[in-house]
Amino acid sequence: MLKIAVLVSGGGTNLQAILDAIDAGTITNTQVAVVISNNAGAYALERARAKGIEAVCISPKDYDDRAAFNDAFLERLNQYEVDLVVLAGFLVVIPEKMIAQYRNRIINIHPSLIPSFCGTGFYGLKVHEQALARGVRVTGATVHFVDEGTDTGPIILQKAVEVQQGDTPKVLQQRVMEQAEWKILPQAINLIAQGRVRVVDGRVHIS
């Protein structure tokens, strides 16, 4: 059984997609041990509680500095002894110590086709604003392992989504979520739970 922690900062629609996929049996052999947020007001925490899943908030505001927060965060995460950490709209930079400890065991969903519209400053609606400003016809989403860079880790799955005439950032964001994110994030978790994902020389092999 793959034990996972899901880290969230906001609405938690990707968390919901994971929970629904577990209920539907499209993710098997997987248990969500904990949902952790940096933001006490995150609706994602409600979604976890509604399913009887432990919902934890650890806010940087409660610590003297970032180093103290990072240590407390890692210590708390370690308590759950998870096999995989899933960043589902988690907007805090992951400390290097955590990346090293969970090498190739942290995955992230990003709302573009990496390497387009990614890196520092590209998160949430901003990604879609930039895609529309550039006039791309196709965008999408990417699930990747997390390494020390921002959105630079090995790519697991990607799915393309068409941009339509008259799209606003919000409309495009919703389409990317519905057609790509909510599909490939559960798919990636299931592949990992079946032991089908390996990283070799910085690239992902799926068997």
CA-derived radius of gyration, the chain: 16
Pairwise CA distance, residues 96 & 115, whole Å: 21
Q: Which of 72, 76, 116, 123 binds ligand GAR (CB under 6 A)?
A: 123
Active site residue 110: yes
Pairwise CA distance, residues 113 & 126, whole Å: 14
Pairwise CA distance, residues 41 & 43, whole Å: 6
Hey, which residues between 140 and 199 contact ligand GAR (CB under 6 A)? 177, 181
Site string for ligand GAR, 31-70 (x = CB under 6 A): -------------x--------------------------
Q: Which of 13, 37, 70, 130 binds ligand GAR (CB under 6 A)?
A: 13
Compute CA distances 92 → 29, 66, 89, 108, 114, whole Å.
28, 11, 9, 12, 19
For 162, the token pair is: 């068409």
Q: Which of 4, 109, 157, 197 binds ligand GAR (CB under 6 A)?
A: 109
| Residues with active-site annotation | 110
Q: Which residues bind ligand GAR (CB under 6 A)?
A: 8, 10-14, 44, 88-89, 109-111, 123-124, 127, 177, 181
